[in-house]
A and B are shown apart, each in its own frame.
Chain A
Amino acid sequence: MLNLMDILKAPAKTGKDEESQGLRKRVQEIPRDLIILFVAFLVMCTVFAILRPQFLHERNIINVLRQIAVVFILASGQTFSILSAGIDLSQGAIVSLVSVVTADIIIKHGVFWGMLAGLGAGTFAGLITGLFVGVAGVQPFIATLGMIFIASGGGLVYTGGIAIFGLDRPEFQNFFFVGGGYLGPVPVPVIVGVITLLVTHYLMYRTPFGRHVYAIGGNERAALMSGVNARKVKILIYTLSGLSATVGSILLTSRILSGQPHLGGFSILMESIASVVIGGTSLMGGEGGIYRTLLGALIIGFLGNGLNLLGVSTFVQQIVIGLIIIVSVWASIIRSRRA
């Protein structure tokens, strides 16, 4: 190899040593739109804090973070599918399915088996989607649209359409800890959220898998020509996305202490996709990342909370979030036109 390099003898022109530039360079490399978005988030929080001082109360912030954690966990899986120029519409349905399976098995066989069954069911649903997308070549939109009906239908069949209660019995109190407990002042879901961030960071930036996701999203034909196993990568993407919905579902189920066949409705899916999109990850694939999604989830969470404190109805909040989605994508279009 080195031998080969030696004879490719052309004078150096450019290509700087990236490492020596240090931290300042790395800060400069943060895309400007991400900085603008972050500043907008800070401004938003400041405004809320001035208008409603309780916005900054510890209890309020912890409460909001707990809500955001679940959305963020789903959105982390969603980030992979959107980065690969796909989408996962089935996350909400998987939340519902996992909720009833987990609740039912916990009551029948105990907490451990219940959570394991939930994890199995949700991940399996993701795997099936992945097989349809990766092996059969069905477009992600269609495959996951189908999975909405399959998973939510499955949940309804499983319970006969009714909710499962009885998780509030004392022998299941370990389970409540998962979604409702604290470690010190920090809610357990927030800790799970942080672990999700770390794991996603690792997969996305530190493994060949992450690079392959970006490559498939950026130019699938070129990725194939470079020997990327798109089939395997896609199966993994949708399995991960299903897994993230599953973890989110178990947290929610634990918090409400019942298995609900309608737990993951339309809104949790939309918040998952919205977090990714508001953060600026491109639906065209190949551009974006998990920290954008984190910022997107924070914006949605604290915006909803701030508007609540101001007494703005949730109906109006939906309109606001809708506008923010469109404006943020519009902003990224302007950015790419300039470039």
Chain B
Amino acid sequence: MEMNQPLVQMQGIVKRFPGVVALGGVDFDLQPGEVHVLLGENGAGKSTLIKILAGVYTKDEGRILIQGQEVHDLTPRKAQETGIRVIYQEFNLMPFFSVAENLFMGREPLRDKTLRLIDWTRVYQESEDALKRLNCPISPKKMVRDLSVAEKQLVEIAKALSVDSKIIVMDEPTSALSLHEIDKLFQIIHLLKQKGVGIIYISHRLEEINRVGDRVTVLRDGHSVGTRKVGETNIDELIKMMVGRELKSKYPYEKREIPGEVVLQIKNFTSRGKFEKINFSLRRGEILGISGLVGAGRTELARAIMGVDPIDEGTVEIQGKEMHPQSPRDMIRRGLGVLPEDRKEQGITQVLPMIQNVTIVALHRVFKRFFLHFGLENKLVSDYVQKLNIATPSLKTQVMYLSGGNQQKVVVAKWLFSQVKILIFDEPTRGIDVGSKFEVHQIMMNLVKDGNSIIMISSELPEILGMSDRILVMREGRLTGELKREEATQEKILRYAMVEEVMEGTGAKREGGHA
């Protein structure tokens, strides 16, 4: 390790925000050709550290050396010039510009210096070359809006390479990718390593660390708990380092008798271009997992059941009553609720107090004799805050100040408050730290033990295997398999999820789905 000059050395980094010390003296370094994984629960200081490296925040104390040279007063621009590139989860691409235009944004080659005409031939030629070097067959003329998430990510990587970035930060790069796309990303990461690029890799998926990482650094409460070589550690140790305690089991699943009476029956559900002829039933007290690749039509199915998007054919039967879902309002009244995949877009309202986020769904419960009763509202919601262990300074705190895990719990509290009996959890633990994940799973288990029923859509196989009583697998808009908990394995699910060799990108269905 001493042979090469480290790409990055961050020493004793301190960052204070009003009232909190976000980083209390963190050391971190990155070698050329290395993938250094940064682990930690939400709020542990990962993004603060990255934002300091990217010049978004200024450090209060400490030193930053890039290739041995100390840098002062980093700004986002200066960081880019020194070869640092951060690929955020929400991409910095212009949706209505072509891939090539995005790649060359701000540094377009000129054909004529005086008239400042852009040399488009060169832009497209060089873009094509850059994408080829990454083995990715995207047309540089395609509009970014039309790309899949995985393709957008590749464009970001190509952009980073085209400005000769030596240091690439990837913030949860796999959170929205299908298994196949993840493989491809890992191949590219391997390619980058060979070129001597150093990669700082942030992820909540511990399973990935073995596959891509060389070293791991764990942050907890703004301090570095330790750095390990990937070969010399294991998942249990990392979890222990992250949460500061040992989790007995990763999933709080309890074996129990499923009462068996059918509470929800989906019949012949069809929405052309998204999913076709879906039939299944949900029993009381059951967790029904729905697995499949991203783009298989699971979220679209959930939205249709909830009455958000119209369907072409099919009915829902809830407790013996058959009907077409009309609107979320309609379905809530019939006892159905959904925790959407993108919490921030559809689950919560950032600017509103946490208490109002909870009660919005069933205000009639606190509207008595022509008045909303604040006392009653406070009392009911405080109960949920306690029972769900929601960490919030007060009931009136705006939800945007809560962590991802606590925001998710607010959504859960909302549905508990609405007293619905059937819940659809769409990617319930995406972007949530390990400790909160366990809590969310615990809450799900408690819910079904009390006679509620849950449909859980998840792209994480361990979560599907760990929490479901029964598993359905979807592929390209169709149900391809059903497995009991006892018989389910990763291999079987994957076979159902990708029976035929999956075609390039698996993007065909997704385009129809999100159009």
| Alpha-carbon distance A211/B361, docked complex (angstroms) | 10
A215:B356 contact, CB within 8 angstroms: yes
Which residues of A182-217 have CB atoms within 8 Å of chain B's CB atoms? 205-208, 211-212, 214-215
B395:A18 contact, CB within 8 angstroms: yes
The CB with the most chain A CB atoms within 10 A, among B308, B333, B361, is that of B361
| Alpha-carbon distance A206/B392, docked complex (angstroms) | 24
A225:B346 contact, CB within 8 angstroms: yes
B439 cross-chain contacts in A, Cβ below 8 A: 10
Which residues of B219-240 have CB atoms within 8 Å of chain A's CB atoms? none
A226:B389 contact, CB within 8 angstroms: no
| Alpha-carbon distance A12/B443, docked complex (angstroms) | 14
B446:A227 contact, CB within 8 angstroms: no
B375 cross-chain contacts in A, Cβ below 8 A: 19
Which residues of A1-32 have CB atoms within 8 Å of chain B's CB atoms? 1, 3-5, 7-19, 29
Q: A225-B328, A228-B360 are in contact. Are A15 and B396 (CB under 8 A)?
A: no
| Alpha-carbon distance A287/B353, docked complex (angstroms) | 10
B329 cross-chain contacts in A, Cβ below 8 A: 227-229
Q: A19-B375, A211-B372, A225-B328 are in contact. Are A13 and B351 (CB under 8 A)?
A: no
B348:A222 contact, CB within 8 angstroms: yes
In the complex, how many angstroms separate the beta carbon of B285 from the nearest chain A beta carbon? 12
A206:B371 contact, CB within 8 angstroms: yes
Interface mask (B134-154 → A, CB under 8 Å = 1, otherwise 0) = 000000000000000000000
A15:B385 contact, CB within 8 angstroms: yes
A215 cross-chain contacts in B, Cβ below 8 A: 349, 352, 356, 360
In the complex, how many angstroms separate the beta carbon of B247 from the nearest chain A beta carbon? 15
B352:A286 contact, CB within 8 angstroms: yes
Partner of A219, one of B349, B363, B383, B393: B349
In the complex, how many angstroms separate the beta carbon of B392 from the nearest chain A beta carbon? 6
B345 sits at the interface (CB 8 A): yes
B349:A14 contact, CB within 8 angstroms: no
B383 cross-chain contacts in A, Cβ below 8 A: 5
| Alpha-carbon distance A224/B331, docked complex (angstroms) | 12
A227:B372 contact, CB within 8 angstroms: no
| Alpha-carbon distance A275/B477, docked complex (angstroms) | 52
A223 sits at the interface (CB 8 A): yes
B414 sits at the interface (CB 8 A): yes
B378:A8 contact, CB within 8 angstroms: no
B332:A227 contact, CB within 8 angstroms: yes
B346 cross-chain contacts in A, Cβ below 8 A: 219, 221-222, 225
A218 sits at the interface (CB 8 A): yes
* Size class of the contact patch on chain B: 35 or more
A211:B387 contact, CB within 8 angstroms: no
Interface mask (B337-368 → A, CB under 8 Å = 1, otherwise 0) = 01010000111111110001001110110010
In the complex, how many angstroms separate the beta carbon of B444 from the nearest chain A beta carbon? 11
B419 sits at the interface (CB 8 A): yes
| Alpha-carbon distance A49/B345, docked complex (angstroms) | 50
In the complex, how many angstroms separate the beta carbon of B342 from the nearest chain A beta carbon? 9
B416 cross-chain contacts in A, Cβ below 8 A: 4-5, 8
Partner of B442, one of A5, A10, A221: A10
Q: A15-B390, A214-B352, A286-B352 are in contact. Are A3 and B450 (CB under 8 A)?
A: yes
| Alpha-carbon distance A10/B387, docked complex (angstroms) | 5
In the complex, how many angstroms separate the beta carbon of A5 from the nearest chain B beta carbon? 6
A228 cross-chain contacts in B, Cβ below 8 A: 329, 360
B328:A227 contact, CB within 8 angstroms: yes
| Alpha-carbon distance A223/B359, docked complex (angstroms) | 11
A226 cross-chain contacts in B, Cβ below 8 A: 328, 332, 360-361, 414
B386 sits at the interface (CB 8 A): yes
Partner of A13, one of B348, B391, B418: B391
B388:A222 contact, CB within 8 angstroms: no
Residue of B whose beta carbon sits closest to that of A336: B351
The CB with the most chain B CB atoms within 10 A, among A10, A16, A224, A226, is that of A226
A1 cross-chain contacts in B, Cβ below 8 A: 419
| Alpha-carbon distance A219/B349, docked complex (angstroms) | 5
B450:A4 contact, CB within 8 angstroms: yes
Closest 3 CB pairs of A and B: A15-B385, A218-B349, A208-B363
Identify 18 residue pairs between A and B in the complex whose beta-carbon atoms are under 8 Å apart, listed by A's number.
Answer: A1-B419, A4-B447, A7-B449, A7-B450, A8-B388, A10-B389, A15-B386, A215-B352, A218-B352, A222-B345, A222-B348, A224-B308, A224-B327, A224-B328, A225-B338, A227-B327, A227-B329, A227-B418
Extra 19 A-B pairs, beta carbons < 8 Å, given A13-B386, A214-B349: A4-B447, A5-B384, A5-B416, A8-B387, A9-B387, A10-B386, A10-B439, A12-B386, A13-B389, A13-B391, A15-B386, A15-B390, A19-B378, A206-B372, A219-B346, A219-B348, A223-B349, A225-B338, A227-B328
Q: Give chain B's interface residues, CB within 8 Å of chain A.
A: 306, 308, 327-329, 332-333, 338, 340, 345-352, 356, 359-361, 363-364, 367, 370-372, 375, 378, 382-396, 414, 416, 418-419, 439, 442-443, 446-447, 449-450, 452
